[in-house]
């Protein structure tokens, strides 16, 4: 028979932990380092995504019918859309004998497809979770555990016939990345970039401004040989995720909080501000994935760039 946990006992445990100097110091350290660790260590959001969608892809996907209703999208259709997205990028690979660097490789979905097509992928990620996952699941794929900007150029000079940045370009600093790309890509090699960009100049740093990207790559002697706007083809994913969050995520969270208040009123009173903050964060997150707002500010581009011989 299960023993019922009393609210008073739970409250004492919370207060005891909160008042302990060691726990307070650890909490301070974790809070202070949150930005530094948010992308480079255990990324639970990516882990959750990879478990929901078992194809090892972490990108938006590509829907051939942009008008599809989010209510009509199934998990299988999401997986198929992610496969089409990868096919779209790999169709641009011309040199199939030289190593292909997948910068920001995610959980290795693109590397898996390259292996199936007898290509030679090399995965790069600063994220420990992703690196461990790829090493265990795809042991034949060489993995570079590093941020791209600090990769040793002399170690990989002229190594790669193709470099792919699939929704990872947004994290790269162009002033450091463009010279490095020029060194590690073979003369005549290709850079395949697929990502979203700001339509207009902004002080925000979540992605690059399109016109600035074009100017900087041109100045670095990259020539754009393919420029394809696929914004409409990725929007169904945002509509689907937004629907799930708004229709199920927020109501379920509120239900859980109300149930918690009824079952543990004392502890709920202590944590009320924290729970309110969690709901506000969730609402902010939903606004960020609003497909209408996304389309008004961003465009999603597939770009192929080549270096002169």
| Per-residue pLDDT, 258 | 84
In the chain, domain spans: 70-232+299-307
Q: What is the mean pLDDT of residues 58-72?
A: 90
**HEC states along 196-246?**
EEECCCCCCCCCCEHHHHHHHHHHCCEEEEEEEECHHHHHHHHHHHHHHHH
The answer to whether the CB of 194 falls within 8 A of the CB of 302 is: yes
Query: What's the mean per-residue pLDDT of the chain?
Result: 83
| Per-residue pLDDT, 194 | 97
Instruction: Report residue 49's pLDDT band, with 50, 70 and 90 as the boundaries.
Output: low
Q: Give the tens place of pLDDT for each residue, 170-215.
A: 999 999 999 999 999 999 999 999 999 999 999 988 899 999 999 9
| Per-residue pLDDT, 55 | 56
| Per-residue pLDDT, 276 | 78
Does pLDDT of 284 surpass 90? no
Tell the CATH topology of 70-232+299-307. Rossmann fold (3.40.50)
Does pLDDT of 263 surpass 70? yes
Distances (CA, A) of 307 to 36, 53, 235, 236: 34, 35, 31, 34
Least trusted range by pLDDT, from 11-20, 88-97, 263-272: 11-20
Instruction: Report residue 216's pLDDT band, with 50, 70 and 90 as the boundaries.
Output: very high
Higher pLDDT, 106 or 300: 300
Q: What is the mean pLDDT of residues 232-250?
A: 85
Least trusted range by pLDDT, from 246-250, 284-288, 304-308: 284-288
Residue 155 burial (10 A CB sphere; 0-12, 13-18, 19+): exposed
Does pLDDT of 34 surpass 90? no
Q: SS3 of 2, please?
A: coil
Q: Give the tens place of pLDDT for each residue, 130-158.
A: 899 999 999 999 999 999 999 999 999 99
| Per-residue pLDDT, 60 | 83
pTM of the model: 0.78
* Sequence-ordered alpha helix ranges (H) in the chain: 7-19, 21-32, 34-38, 44-52, 75-90, 109-116, 128-137, 174-184, 210-219, 231-244, 250-263, 265-288, 291-297
pLDDT more than 90, % of the chain: 55
| Per-residue pLDDT, 47 | 54
Least trusted range by pLDDT, from 66-70, 100-104, 183-187, 266-270: 266-270
CA 230, distance to chain mean position in Å, is 18
Least trusted range by pLDDT, from 54-63, 162-171, 251-260, 267-276: 54-63
| Per-residue pLDDT, 148 | 96
Residue 89: name the closest of 54, 66, 59, 118 by CA.
59
| Per-residue pLDDT, 37 | 47
- Residues paired with residue 299 on neighbouring β-strands, in sequence order: 197
């Amino acid at each position: 028979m299960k023993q019922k946990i009393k609210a008073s006992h739970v409250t004492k445990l919370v207060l005891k932990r909160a008042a302990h100097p060691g726990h307070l110091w650890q909490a301070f350290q974790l809070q202070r380092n949150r930005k530094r660790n948010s992308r480079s260590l255990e990324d639970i959001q990516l882990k959750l995504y990879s478990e929901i969608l078992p194809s090892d892809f972490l990108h938006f996907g590509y829907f051939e019918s942009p008008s599809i209703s989010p209510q009509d999208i199934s998990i299988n259709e999401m997986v198929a859309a992610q496969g089409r997205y990868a096919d779209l990028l790999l169709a641009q690979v011309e040199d199939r004998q030289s190593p292909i660097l997948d910068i920001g490789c995610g959980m290795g979905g693109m590397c898996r497809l390259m292996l199936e097509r007898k290509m030679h992928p090399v995965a790069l990620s600063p994220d420990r979770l992703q690196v461990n996952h790829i090493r265990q699941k795809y042991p034949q794929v060489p993995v570079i555990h590093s941020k791209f900007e600090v990769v040793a150029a002399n170690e990989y000079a002229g190594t790669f016939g193709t470099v792919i940045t699939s929704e990872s370009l947004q994290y790269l600093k162009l002033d450091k990345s463009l010279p490095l790309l020029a060194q590690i890509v073979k003369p005549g090699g290709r850079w395949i970039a697929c990502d979203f960009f700001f339509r207009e100049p902004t002080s925000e740093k979540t992605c690059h401004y399109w016109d600035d990207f074009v100017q900087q790559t041109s100045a670095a002697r990259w020539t754009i040989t393919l420029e394809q706007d696929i914004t409409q083809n990725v929007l169904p994913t945002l509509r689907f995720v937004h629907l799930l969050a708004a229709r199920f995520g927020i109501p379920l969270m509120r239900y859980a909080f109300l149930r918690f208040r009824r079952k543990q009123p004392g502890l709920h009173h202590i944590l009320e501000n924290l729970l309110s903050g969690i709901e506000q964060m969730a609402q902010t997150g939903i606004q960020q994935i609003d497909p209408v707002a996304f389309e008004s500010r961003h465009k999603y581009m597939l770009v192929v760039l080549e270096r002169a011989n």
